Amino acid sequence: MRYYDKLILKDGRECVIRNTTSTDAYNVIVAFNRMQTETDYLLRYPEENDMTVKDEALYITQKEQSARNLQLCALVDDQIVGLASCNALGNFLKIQHRVELGICVEKKYWHLGIGKALLEACIKASQQASYQQMELEVVASNKQAIRLYKKMGFKEYGRNQRGFITKQGNEQALILMILDLR
């Protein structure tokens, strides 16, 4: 799936939303590690990211060549400040209509419209790829993200009360959400 757009953020700066490319591999790793240190809302910790630049470049190349999967980056002043991905749950006939969403934005760029722009891009691209259903999991205490997802039409369909257990031993409930793309 291919995507490219420009938008003006709430603070007046320009943001480019586009597919990541293999030449972005190093910057994607750096940005993702930075975002993972800023919040407990993401799946893993920076020290668990064992992707080399070569591994990341190959992963991105696979996304670039895919008609059904997507990885986007948000750039402000040519720096990656947000990432989003849409991945097929599988190719089996019974689940080929489903796509899973993941989004992260660097903390100092929260509240500027980047998360919403990444979400809108993922929804649009997923509809163009003929997906019928978008799914995500969000930490229940991430009220800002939940508000955005609900505003965009996502509905809660369940909870995993012990979805995450942090390094400190704290349990985090995950809310399972779904969006009808038809």
Q: Give the integer Cα–Cα distance in Å for 118 and 166.
A: 27
Report the distance separating Cα 103 and Cα 42, nearest Å: 9
Return the pLDDT at 108.
95
Q: CA-to-CA distance for 78 and 64, rounded, in angstroms? A: 20
Q: Domain locations in the chain?
A: 4-133
What are the tokens at 19?
């597919």
User: How confident is the model at residue 94, as a pLDDT?
Assistant: 97
The per-residue pLDDT for 77 is: 96
Rounded to two decimals, what is the model's pTM?
A: 0.94
pLDDT the model gives residue 173: 98
Q: What is the pLDDT along the chain (182 residues), one digit of tens a residue?
A: 788 999 999 999 999 999 999 999 999 999 999 999 999 999 999 999 889 999 999 999 999 899 899 999 999 999 999 999 999 999 899 999 999 999 999 999 999 999 999 999 999 999 999 999 999 999 999 999 999 999 999 999 999 999 999 999 999 999 999 999 99
3-state secondary structure of 143: helix
CB 1 within 8 Å of CB 86: yes
**Predicted pLDDT at 166:** 94
pLDDT, residue 2, reads 82
**Residue 142: predicted pLDDT:** 96
Residue type, 112: L
CA distances from 121 to 6, 19, 152, 169 (A): 11, 10, 12, 35
Alpha-carbon distance values, 123 to 11, 41, 120, 130, 137 (Å) = 24, 21, 5, 11, 16
- Least Cα distance to 136 among 82, 179, 74 occurs for 179
Residue 36 has a pLDDT of: 94
CATH of 4-133, one of 3.40.630.30, 3.10.20.70, 3.40.50.200, 2.40.30.110: 3.40.630.30
Give residue 131's identity as a one-letter amino acid code.
Y
